[in-house]
Each structure stands twice: as structure tokens, then as C-alpha cells.
Chains A and B, each alone.
Chain A
Amino acid sequence: MITNRITASPEELTKKDFVSDQMVKWCPGCGAHGILRAVENVFPKIGYKKENFMFVSGIGCSSRFPYYVNTYGIHGIHGRAAAIATGVKLSNPGLSVWIATGDGDSMAIGGNHFIHIIRRNLDVNILLFNNQIYGLTKGQYSPTTPIGSITKTSPHGTIEHPFVTAGLVLGAQGTFFARVLDNNISMMTEVMHEAARHDGTSVVEILQNCVIFADKTHRQITDKEVRDDYQLHLRHGHRMCYGKNNEKGIQLKGTKLQGVVVGLNGVTIDDILIHDQHEKNPGLHRMLGKMGPPDLPVALGVIRSAEFETYDDMVEIQIESVRETSKIKCVDDLLNSGETFEVE
């Protein structure tokens, strides 16, 4: 049983309650605009008091986010949003803490904090803007840039193997992982709401377009011609079907996932896997998180949402239990504890 310590809003909130008066300075056409829209949509629905929302960020285009939404916010330093957020949440578990970060911020310079916040399962929500490029420094490759890409620092093509975000998150024992596209605001809104409801670290990877330095970087799955065959929209309790007419599905064959067509080669609808996002064993979630073109579609939606104790809750519980048994109730007690002696 995990205790949610965030106060509910006494009044109905609307989008207006979260719109900032600051000029939004992202490039026209940047995927971040859609993410901001989704956040403005979902925050009033979550139902917490508006003062209890808090945005934390590091550095990068994504990290300007706190200035553009009307909540408490801190724009930190490069890679450290997860560490700052840890202090915010532990100090005040009554806050709904959101991290806006990018692929470089969270998986290069901030990689250490990223895996550790996930491992601890601190109850925060991470919006990870993955545009596979360094935008703010103008176009160098990032840890998720596909191998072979030509960028400002890889004129002959990158020779680094990229991270698959889901693999890193679930490898770090992530309890919630979802993947969405920046052009699907309704799906983002829905998934962010699920992230907010999840107790523990929720990572929402947003496949984002950078119009300037990595335009159409996700086109392998977003282009009109391919998207039906390369997007699998997961829903808990539903079969993993995709394709223009939902005729395709994911089947587990031996230890591998396979894309199959229902009705072909004796495959029936019963052979298609049913998505269980709450399954504690992450095995299948890892496979779903890592699948992608050319053989398989990319899984979108909530891939994993499993309940485990949260770090912030355990911190509170431990303090309460020590308080109950300890004889030391105030600092005067502490100062006079153990070996002391009187001088007359």
C-alpha cells in the first residue's frame, strides 16, 4: 500500500490555470509545442491543487519547459534534473513532481541520475523529449542518434551504438515506461494522465521531431506510408494488433516476438498476445520496448506500469517507525544522550 500525499484541488481547474504568461521560444514546428499542449490538457484533469505541481528540468531545448507552464518550477543545470527532483520530492512528498528532459540531458550528461532515480522508484514523472539530436547546441549527435547519422560532430557518420530508451529504463528496474509521438496530442494526454496516476518513477518517452537539426528523424514510423505497419498502439487487456485494418499482431514464438498476419499460415486471433502492463516480471515489457523496424512495429502507449514500493513513501514510513520507538524526541535529548558527566 503506497500512500499518495498530494492534496486534491478544492476546485475544478482548467487549462487556463496552467498557461504561462511567458513567450514560448521554441522553433515554429518544434515537437515541444505539442508536448506543452498535452501538459496543459492533462494537469487540470489530474485533480491536484495547482500549487502542488512542480516542474524540474536540466539543460537543453526541452528544459526550458518550466518557464512555459504556470506551476512552481526550477530550471537546473545540465543533466541534474533527476537529482534536483529527488530533493524536491523527498523534502515535500506532497508535490506532484514533473521532470522535463531530453535524450542528451538524461542519457548522456545525466545518465547516472537517470538510472538511479528509476532504480529507487521515486514517485516523479519524467517527460523525456527524444529527438535524437542535441538541439540547443545546434546539431551534435546524442546517445540516441541512429548509428551512421551525419551530424555536426559526425561528418562521416556516427560510429556509436545508440541507447534504446526503454532498454535503459527497464534495465534500471523501471516500474513505468510509455512511449508516445509528439504529433499525437490526445495519446500524449492520456499517457501523461496514466503516468501521473502511477506511484513510482514514470518515464514517458516522447519521440519528438527537431525541425532544424534532425527533421523527420522518426519518419521510419511516422511517415504516412509506413505508420500503420510500424506503430503498435498498446492497450492494457487488449490484443497487440496493428496494421491498416488491424490485421497484424504480435506473437511470442519461442523466446522471440514475431509480427504475424491473422488468417495467414494458420495464425488465429488467439495467437496474438494480450497486453498486461501491470505484470511485475519485466521480461515481455523489455521485448516490447526494444522492438522496432524493419521487422516489427514500435510499441506506443503504456508498455509497463507495475506496482512496487516507492522510495519517497519508504522514507516517510521509516522516519515514522523510528520516531515511534526512539527515546530521542528533540535535539536536547540527543545532546544529552550516551556518555555525559557533570562538572560542579
Chain B
Amino acid sequence: MSKEQTSKVRESVVIKFVGDSGDGMQLAGTLFSDTAAVLGNDLFTFPDYPAEIRAPHNTLAGVSGFQVQIGREKIFFSGDLCDVLVAMNPASLKTNLKWVKPGGTIIVDSDAFNEKAFEKSGYQSNPLEDGSLDSYKVIPAPISSFTRSSLAHCNLSGKSADRSRNMFALGIVIFLFGQDIETTFKFLGRKFKNNPSVREINKIVLSAGYNFAETIEAIGPTYKVPPATLKKGTYRNISGNVATAWGLLAASERSGRPIFLGSYPITPATEILMEMTNNKSLGAKVFQAEDEIAGICSAIGASFSGSLAVTTTSGPGLSLKSEAIGLAVMTELPIVIVNVQRAGPSTGMPTKSEQSDLLQALYGRNGECPVIVMSASTPANCFYYAYEAAKLSMEHMTPVILLTDGYLGNGSELFRIPRVSELPEIKPPMAQPNDATYKPYKRDPETLVRQWAIPGTEGLRHRIGGLEKTDIYGAVSTDPINHQAMVNIREEKVRKVAEHIPLQKIHGDTTGDLLVVSWGGTEGSVKTAVREMQKEGKKIGHAHFNHIMPLPRNTRNVLGSYSKVVVCELNNGQFVKYLRSEFPEIPCLQYNKIQGLPFFTGELVEKFNQLIREVQS
């Protein structure tokens, strides 16, 4: 039988590579995604790795995974359940079996299924033989032994050869999806361009896996995902963290303000810091601070000195930065604080995603301390929201907290590359040298924004600080009336930013039975669920918020336009609390999940259907 005859054409497919951390699952997944992208599929990836760098071999704690959904239509998230699971050992099969679709394909390294590994992973019997996998299509492949024998002529130790097991597995998958192995070779070549021997070894094993899959008849039908119909342009695969760094760099270039990043490494935000250090050729000044506080304080100093100043962190780090955010609010200096959220409280689950820092971002400071709060909602749009965060911060002389999360930061999708000149202009309110009328807290009457006077500028020497100041002149003041006025001005200044952000959109009809509200990293899964129901003719709409403080000007109308509103969040109901306080007259229902996992389409659809039935009954 030829391949063509047995191919199953699919709109989209979810595949997950799982194994010990150190088994190279991230690399296998990335190469598969890159290959699919070149062949024209849209995609969305998500690495799922443990906090431990190398947990004990073959244990449940050490399982690392990489999930990717590829499709012929726009893909909004990395998918719920997978069609294909590649499991390199029993532990990874055990922890991931629940994420496989009934009837899905499971490829395992049969060599790794031995008594010792069963014991370590808690299997009482061999799952490949005890019938527990009968409802799946299992492909047991002797990956370890075939990897070793394919490298027999290379004079490697068994252990060294085992490092390439991931390539054998990838070879099987490349065949299974009818992908072009030559493309994967190219990526391998670039990945190991400085290490030709590793490159050759990986190529040999990749081919061996591919040939194995082609040879054995047990492999069954292959999957075919036709190319997506993407808008014309140049594309690349990008992760949210890299997109965030690049968006900030673009804002620096477009505004003419040099970029300064002061940060302390913290999962899952560190990649932004690392990416920025790669861009010194663009003048990026990157300071790896001694702690989170020094990260933001150095950024505040750099902001006063005229830089587009940024600090990046995750939840616990945001807590440490709270006092300094207050200083930036008081001194009315621009600064972008990126919080790549993770599951809390405290250290929580560092590698798992959550949306539970929203209230902290809005209110977690002493005093009346308003800042702009906004969020990105896909890995690629981290670029645009980071850019907008920088623009709003500089143009309105205020701190901005940009919320992303571990799912967005580590996830990746295709990104249509823009030209920097097409991005909106950024015009910071720079004070002019020797301006005799300059006063530190003199404001634009429309926006209430003060001017940015940079140390070194002739004729503008002035002092700012954390003590309350008189308006206009900026002298230290404890005058009661002045304090009330300044508190109100700082609040009003941030509220007025609403006039400079887009109106909130509804995806769906302008009225209907159920409006689903979401924000941040859940856009993809919520959108997918709503679309599924809209196709069935349900009167359901979706409003996904990226701007939170201030909210878009039309938010009240948006929320009031449907019979019911349900706010879906990966926390215990933070955005809904905020919406209720802003719009007490609008009853908002809530749907929450707090498991360190994204929403699944199935659970959302079920909930939404239930709510619609209630409206109709």
C-alpha cells in the first residue's frame, strides 16, 4: 500500500512529546514545529517542563513534555487532548495518558518498558501488555536499541548514543505526518552548525527512525494536515517571552529612547532577560540585578535618566517590587513591569501557568497607587502589547504592568513579521533644554501628563522623590488639600488613558444569550470553544480584554448587551471582582479553574451550554 492511500486528512492535530527531562523532548518538539511551519501549517506550541532540572531518571517528577497543535486554519492554542503521544518511558506515559484522545496514537520506546522503570513509575504491570491501552493505537518501537544499532559504526558509548533517542522518535513522527525529512535536516544542520559530529549523529538516527516507521506495517494510516491559508507575508515561529523582548526593542527604536532592562532571573520570565542580552547590538542595556528590588529600582533610575526602562518578573518578584512601583507612581516616571504569571501563592508552582496576579497588579501597593494594567493574550501578540505598554508608559508618564503568563511566555505560534515603521508612533513628552517655564509637575491640561526632563539637560535641574509634592512646582508638601488633589490627579491621569486605547470588541453578534468574557492568556481556548458553539448556531459572543486599567470606554455597553455574562479566568475570580466593583449594576457570573492548567474546550462548551439553557428556560 502506498502512503497516499492510507493518509487521513485532518484540519488540525495535537501531538505531544514526553520523556525524562534531559531526553531532548523540547528539541524534538521544536524541530517538528519548525518543519510543520515551513510546510505551511499554522501552529501553537507549549513546553510543559518540571521545576527540577534533572529529577531522578524514570520518575514521575522528572517528566518533561512539549505539545504542539498544527492546523490548516488559524490555531489559537496548543490544544486540549492529543492525537499522538510520544512517550519515551513508563513514567511519562503514566503522567500523560489522561491527555490522549480516546483512540489516539501512542508511540512508546518499548526498550524503556522494563521492570525497573515500572517500579520507579509505580506501574504494577506492563501497560503495553496488560490491556490498559486497548482503547488506543499503540506503536511500540524499540527506540533505544535501534538508536544504538544505527550508531554502531560511530564508536559511541551506549550512553552517548542514547542521547539521540529523541531523534529516532522524531523520525517516526515526521513519517507519520508525511513531513519532509529534508526540511528537518536543514534545521538540525543550523542547530548544530558548530558541532558537525553531533549533527551527523542526529541525522543518522533521525533517518533511522523515519525508515523504521516506513518499514513496519504496524504504523497504520498517516496523518495529513494540509497547509494553512495564511495572510501573505513573512512569518516566523515566536514564543511569548521573545515576542515581549522584541516588542520592547521595537518601542525603543520607534520612540528614540534607549532601552534599559533591570531584572533578576525568575521562572518563567527569565527568557525575556536572556533574549534582551542577545540584543546589545541594538544598544540594549541589560542589568542582571542582585535582586528583584534592585531590578525595578535600577529601571526607575534609568527612566529618570531618559531610557525606556523595563523590569521583568513573575508573581513573587512582583510582590518584591511593590514599594518601588509606588515610587514610580509618585515620581510619575515611565516604566514597564512585565509579570509572566505563574501559579501562586508564594513559590507555588513555578512552571505552571495561572492568572492570579491580577488583583496584585491592580491594587497591591501602599497608598492610592494607580498604574496602567494590561495583558497580552497570545505568544505572538506579546510583541504588540509590549510595544503598546511601552508607548502608553512613556506618553503618559506612568508605570504600566503588562501581564502575560507561563503559557504565553513559553508557548509559541506563528508571527507575521511587521515592519517597525508600520507600528504606531511613540512621542514621549520630552522637556526642552532651557525652557524657562519648565516645572517638574506642570501638566498637559488634556492628559494630565507631566514632562520628562532628563538629568544632563541644560536649565532643567529639579528634584523628584517619594514624598508627596505640590502640583506644578514639586516641592515637598504635607498640605492636606494638596495631597487630596494629587491623589485625584494621579488617578485621573491613568483613567484618561482610556481615550488612547481601542474600544472593546465582541466576537459574535452585538446581542445574544451569553457573553463570554476572558482576559490574558486564555484567549485561544475560550475563542475556540465560543466559535465551536457559534457554528452550532448558539447565540453566544466573546469579549476578550487586553486592557484592564483603564478598561476600554465602551466596556459598560459591551457587558450590558447580552442576557448573561460569564467571566472565565484561571484564578478564583479576580477580573470578575474588578468588573463587579466597576459596574455593580451588571450581574457577572464566573467560571474559574485553578489547577495550573489551561482551559479545555470541552469543559468550556459544557459550561456555556448549561448557562444558555438556563437563559432559555
Cβ-closest chain A residue relative to B466? A77
Interface residues of B in 453-497 (CB under 8 A from A): 454-467, 475-476
Interface mask (A274-292 → B, CB under 8 Å = 1, otherwise 0): 0000000000000000000
Q: Does A270 interact with chain B (Cβ within 8 Å)? A: no
B467–A75 CB distance below 8 A: yes
Q: Does B260 interact with chain A (Cβ within 8 Å)? A: yes
A84–B301 CB distance below 8 A: yes
A222 to B232, CA, bound (A): 80
Chain A interface residue number, banded: 35 or more
Q: Does A66 interact with chain B (Cβ within 8 Å)? A: yes
Q: Which residues of B contact A328 (CB under 8 A)?
A: 279, 281-282
Q: Does B367 interact with chain A (Cβ within 8 Å)? A: no
A335–B294 CB distance below 8 A: no
User: Provided the pairs A83-B297, A116-B294, A344-B232 are in contact, do residues A334 and B465 lie with their beta carbons within 8 angstroms?
Assistant: no
A92–B455 CB distance below 8 A: yes
Interface residues of A in 306-331 (CB under 8 A from B): 315, 318-319, 322-323, 326, 328-331
Q: Does B566 interact with chain A (Cβ within 8 Å)? A: no
A70 to B463, CA, bound (A): 8
User: Provided the pairs A74-B331, A112-B294 are in contact, do residues A322 and B280 lie with their beta carbons within 8 angstroms?
Assistant: yes
User: Provided the pairs A77-B327, A344-B232 are in contact, do residues A86 and B294 lie with their beta carbons within 8 angstroms?
Assistant: yes
Partner of A319 from the list B249, B283, B293, B458 (CB cut-off 8 Å) is: B283
Cβ-closest chain B residue relative to A316? B285
Partner of B250 from the list A95, A323, A331, A340 (CB cut-off 8 Å) is: A331
Stretch at the interface among B69-77, B134-142, B303-311, B525-533: B303-311
Q: Which residues of B contact A265 (CB under 8 A)?
A: none
Q: With both chains docked as a complex, state the minimum distance between the C-beta of A159 and any C-beta of chain B, in angstroms.
A: 28
Q: Which residues of A contact B301 (CB under 8 A)?
A: 56, 74, 83-89, 91
A77–B236 CB distance below 8 A: no
Q: Does B230 interact with chain A (Cβ within 8 Å)? A: yes
Q: With both chains docked as a complex, state the minimum distance between the C-beta of B179 and any C-beta of chain A, in angstroms.
A: 14
Q: With both chains docked as a complex, state the minimum distance between the C-beta of B224 and any C-beta of chain A, in angstroms.
A: 19
B298–A90 CB distance below 8 A: yes
B294–A83 CB distance below 8 A: yes
Q: With both chains docked as a complex, state the minimum distance between the C-beta of A245 and any C-beta of chain B, in angstroms.
A: 48
Binding site for A on B (CB under 8 A): 34, 37-38, 40, 187, 190, 230-237, 246, 249-250, 253, 258, 260, 262, 279-283, 285, 287, 289-291, 293-294, 297-307, 309, 323-324, 326-327, 331, 417-420, 454-467, 475-476
Binding site for B on A (CB under 8 A): 22, 50-52, 54-57, 66-67, 70-77, 80, 82-92, 94-95, 112-113, 116, 315, 318-319, 322-323, 326, 328-332, 334-336, 338-344
6 sample A-B contacts, Cβ–Cβ < 8 Å, listed by A number: A70-B461, A87-B298, A91-B301, A91-B303, A323-B281, A329-B281
Given contacts A332-B420, A343-B233, 16 further A-B contacts (CB under 8 A): A67-B465, A70-B461, A73-B463, A73-B465, A76-B300, A83-B262, A84-B298, A85-B301, A87-B305, A89-B301, A90-B285, A95-B456, A338-B236, A341-B37, A343-B40, A343-B230
